Structures are given as structure tokens and as C-alpha cells.
Amino acid sequence: MRRELMTGNAAAAWGARLARADYLPAFPITPQTEIIETVAQWIDAGEMNCRMVMMESEHSMITAAGAAAATGVRVFTATSSQGLLYGMEMLYTVAGWRAPFVMANVSRGLAAPITLEPDHNDILAARDSGFLQIHCATCQEVLDASLIAYRVAEDARVRLPVIVNLDGFYLSFTREPVDIPSQDEVDAFVPPFDAGPTRFRAGKPMSQAVAVLGGTPYSYFRYETHLAARAALEVYAEATDAFERQFGRRYGALDAYRCDDADIIFVMMGSFATKAKDAVNKLRAIGERVGLLRPILLRPFPDTAIRQLLAGKKAVAVIDQNISMGMGGVLHGEVSAALNGSKDAPPVLASFVGGLGGRDISAEEFFEIAAETRRAAENGETPPPRLLFTESELREIRKLQAIAHVEHGSDEAEGNRNGEGEERHA
């Protein structure tokens, strides 16, 4: 083992390298590109024995990844935002093939308007695809989750692809110290991929992904995929136990921080949860009993664990870094479903949306969220959902609109001025 400063992107590349990925179909997109460039350099330098191929789109990339996994090799790939959506048809398709492989998604907000900065609408669009999802908050987690992901994906009880999610910029481009486990240790943890009889070989004809006629076989195979995803809860628990024995780092399906004696809990995913953690520490310092619950697994959804952890709490504030238009925060809905019908569920489950397109969530905002949630707990009424935005931000926008308005009068339509024009390396 050695320790190095590295970005989240490099950590994802290390995951692929240490897992001895055989094959990597690729397509560039900011802020993911560094992953494939890193692997390309290792291949060139003879440090990694992997076949990498540049595809012409993410739709093709995910098709090739699934097809190679269905042929029996270990596959890694990576994408982000627009790329994930461009490949969406194939996410569902290759998951239906039960093709196990690992894909890093570097979360970035979706167009329009176009942005390069992170939020979770991209990854949540893949929520129902059949890919399992592991959400990371640190660079170390990115590396570790990639290894754990192979164990889970390739397990005969699961056989599903897994997305390891890391936030664009906040993780992808941020350097943190990361322990790089030795190859021997990783080899012991991630044995070679055994595709079993489901693969293509001459002399052993095999039809995969064939059509079905009618709802009965269709339902059967869809249920089977769902049950495999549910079985992944246990397989993940086994894999993380084994990981802890091998490497000494413990991961659960949830990361619960100072939750035991807390009466108010923040629920948040991804790297922005580290901001929530800071806020929890500051609130604790002034005597507020606040904790943070961070789902690491989003699919399968660890509903039982969430129910147990939140049982008896006074109030919960779910802070969603995504927005489902016309509904609100997606995670809020998921947590709410998990708590539904449980006897000692917290009486207040408040919803906050923030951090869209990389917008910061300040410590003051976390304090305000905590205060509002506590007020709600006291009067027993869940407040209406809040979209985080400050007065000063609104003033800033008004200024921009004034400029756009002047330009509009003299020149082009305002619509063309907003939202368009990606940066050069997008």
C-alpha cells in the first residue's frame, strides 16, 4: 500500500487498474475525460494490460461495454451528464442483459441551460435502469467503491452493472490523499471475472437479449432483475465486510455521522455531504443535536437501514442536489417512501433543494435548514419544500437580466444569450 495525493478521476482510474479491467470503451466528456486519459497513459506505458477503444458516442460506448461483458471479460467505462443521457437507452438494455461491469459517472448538471458543474440530475435519471449505484463523497471512496463494485456486479446472485458516482469538480478535480492498495491485496479481494456459461464461444451457442412475447415472460425477467438488485444489498454487505477485513476501511450502505444521539438529521448524497458534515460539527459545538445520514447505495435502496436509523428522530431535512420538475427533490421522495408506514418514523420530513449546477450551500444555509427543521419539529408541521436561493443571488440575477435586456434590445434574442455557449473543453 502507498499513499498519494490524487483527484477523484485518478482514483477511479486506479480502481479500474487494480481490478485488472480487461476492456475500456471510452468517449470524452468534461469533467470525466481525465479518467480515460489516465488509463490510456498507463496502457501506453505498459503499466496496465487493458484494451481501450474510442467509441463515437456514449450510446455506442455502453453498448460495447455491455457486449464485451456479455462475452466474458471485465469491463470498465466512464461518462458524465450529457453522455449518460445520450446512452440512456443502453443503460436499460445492458442491465436487462445482466451484463456485469463498472462505470464511473462524474456527475454534472444537465442542459439546458448547459453547465459543467455538478449536481445529481444526471445520475438520478439512471435510477430505474437496473444499474446499481454507489455514491462517493471522497476520492478514497471512489477507488474503494470501484473495487467493491466489481465484487457486487459479478456475484452470481446479482450479475448487474454498477455505476460509481463522483461529483464533477468537487471530487473529479480535487486532490486528496488516497491509499492505493497493493495489487496482491486487490487480487485477493477481486478474483478474476468468471462469466459462467453466459458468454459467447464457438461450439457453445448462446442467445442473449432475445425478445419475449407477452407480459408474462417480460414480467418474469423484469422481476428477476429487480430481485437481483435487491439481493445486492446482502452481497454489498458481504463485500464491504470483506473489504474491511482486507483493507481496514469500513463502508456501509449508509454513512451515518453523529446520528446516534441526534434529534435532527440531515440526509444528503455525494461530496456536498462533506459541507453538511462541517455544519453538523459547528451546530454540535453550540449544543444542537444534529446528525448526517448519507446514502452510499442508492440502488439497491437501503430502505430498511434508513428506517432503522431514522426511527425515533424528531425531524429530518432531506437536502437534494437535484430537482424533479413538478415534484421536487428525488431523494426526499425516496426517503419518504422508505419511512412510509413505519411506526416510529420522524413526524417531520422536510425537503430542501440546493447545490444545483455546483451552487454552493453555505454553512449559514445549513444552520437555517437546521433551525427551520427544529421549528417544524416543535410545532409538528412539515414545512413546504424550499429551493435554496439567497437575496444577494437574486440581485445578481436581476443585474444579469438587465444586461441581457439591453443586449436584447440592440442585438440578438435573449434566449440565445442565456444558456448557450459551452466552454472550450466541454
> Which residues are near another protein by CB under 8 A?
22-23, 25, 51, 53-57, 59-61, 63-73, 89-90, 93, 97, 200-213, 217
Smallest distance, another protein to C-beta of residue 231, A: 22
* Nearer CB in complex with another protein: 199/258: 199
Smallest distance, another protein to C-beta of residue 301, A: 27
* Nearer CB in complex with another protein: 73/404: 73
C-alpha distances out from residue 367 to 8, 128, 284, Å:
29, 33, 11
Smallest distance, another protein to C-beta of residue 101, A: 10
* Nearer CB in complex with another protein: 24/316: 24
Question: Are the C-beta atoms of residues 25 and 155 closer than 8 Å to each other?
Answer: no
Pairing of strands 102-107, 290-295: unpaired
Smallest distance, another protein to C-beta of residue 83, A: 14
Smallest distance, another protein to C-beta of residue 112, A: 22
* Nearer CB in complex with another protein: 56/184: 56
Region of 268 on the Ramachandran plot (φ > 0 left; ψ -120 to 50 alpha; else beta): beta
Specify the 3-state DSSP secondary structure of 219. Answer: helix
Smallest distance, another protein to C-beta of residue 192, A: 9
d(CA 288, CA 291): 9
C-alpha distances out from residue 127 to 206, 233, 267, 302, Å:
30, 16, 18, 14
Q: What are phi and psi of 74, to 5 degrees?
A: -85, 125
DSSP state of 16: H
- Three cell numbers at 285? 459545538
Question: Are the C-beta atoms of residues 308 and 314 closer than 8 Å to each other?
Answer: no
* Nearer CB in complex with another protein: 207/410: 207
* Nearer CB in complex with another protein: 208/274: 208
* Nearer CB in complex with another protein: 128/218: 218
Nearest to residue 198, comparing CAs of 98, 64, 96? 98
Smallest distance, another protein to C-beta of residue 153, A: 16
- Three cell numbers at 344? 416510529
Residue type for position 46: G
* Nearer CB in complex with another protein: 22/407: 22
Region of 251 on the Ramachandran plot (φ > 0 left; ψ -120 to 50 alpha; else beta): beta
Smallest distance, another protein to C-beta of residue 86, A: 11
Q: What are phi and psi of 332, to 5 degrees?
A: -55, -45
Question: Are the C-beta atoms of residues 166 and 107 closer than 8 Å to each other?
Answer: yes
